[in-house]
Amino acid sequence: MIERSTEYGLEWKLTNLGLFILKEFLSRSVNNSNNNTSTIQHNTIPIRMHNVTFRFDILSSIDNESIRLRWKPINNGVSKCFIRYPDHTLELTKSPNENESVLEVHLPEVYTFDPYQGLLKQYDIARHYASLAAQRLRLVISDNGRLVKKPHFAFERDLIALYLATFQTAEISTVGGGRKDKAWIDSSKGSGEFETNDINYAYNYLMMPEIVMDIQKAVNRIAKQTAGYERHYHPIMTDNN
């Protein structure tokens, strides 16, 4: 959660993960009287969410004279332009055809304890950036955006992934997902981590400790119940003998 820095002499500073954990800890300390917190918020395993891009349709024409940008020609009269900021990147695609120009907002990686809430928060942030861009560039864009591609959800320092990554790579198609939904182990950060582009699979993986505990409780309950039945049906332990 901390890293060494020599930018201003020798010092230690929080990583993005460390800053996220600290903010969550302080937030929960303030709101610890709230008893309506869901189970997922008590989980201490954060997810790193990346590869998040939202697209907004450009409904107005793009005036090249009023918007001085560096356009790169692609094909069939289509041009692209990238505007990079410290916390996001804008990608404009200008098409000669009406209603085919788009504005895409690429967001940096973030940490979250809930993939659903995290994705909704990223969408709100993308809408904010898209609205600011439309004002600066004098564009009219759609009120709502859409997810361009499926985000990736990574579990850092996962014990299973760290073990498997030492001798093999692994990838599976997730059950119940789309045709391209999968889970895999890679080394994008560190020696190995578990990653998926299926938000439902990420949620189930995050809830795995609670699910295993529920299964254990159910098994114990069944074992206790069957032990009572054995007393009446076992040929040696029945009351008639």
pLDDT per residue over 154-213, tens digit each? 887 666 666 666 666 667 788 765 667 888 877 667 666 778 888 888 888 878 778 888
pTM score, two decimals? 0.63
- Report the distance separating Cα 62 and Cα 92, nearest Å: 10
pLDDT of residue 37: 45
Residue 90 in any domain: the answer is no
Residue 68 in any domain: the answer is no
pLDDT of residue 221: 84
Q: Which residue has the higher pLDDT, 206 or 32?
A: 206
pLDDT of residue 232: 60
Residue 51 in any domain: the answer is no
Q: How confident is the model at residue 231 (pLDDT cuts 50, 70, 90)?
A: low
Residue 3 in any domain: the answer is yes
Residue 2 structural domain: 1-30
pLDDT of residue 17: 74
With CA atoms as reference, report the closest residue to 158 among 188, 179, 120: 188
With CA atoms as reference, report the closest residue to 52 among 186, 158, 154: 154
Q: How confident is the model at residue 41 (pLDDT cuts 50, 70, 90)?
A: very low
Residue 55 in any domain: the answer is no
Residue 2 in any domain: the answer is yes
User: Domain total for the chain?
Assistant: 1
pLDDT of residue 36: 47
Give every CB contact of residue 51 below 8 A, 6+ residues apart in sequence: 149, 150, 151, 152, 197
Q: How confident is the model at residue 35 (pLDDT cuts 50, 70, 90)?
A: very low
Residue 76 in any domain: the answer is no
Concatenate the DSSP letters of all residues of 50-100 into one string: E-EEEEEEB-S---TTTS----EE-STT-EEEEEE-SS-EEEEEE-SSTT-
Quickly count helices (H) and strands (E) in the chain: 5, 14
Chain segment 57-102, per-residue pLDDT in tens:
999 888 765 567 888 998 888 999 999 999 999 999 999 888 889 9
Radius of gyration of the chain (CA): 25
Residue 207 in any domain: the answer is no
Chain segment 130-156, per-residue pLDDT in tens:
999 999 998 999 999 999 988 998 887
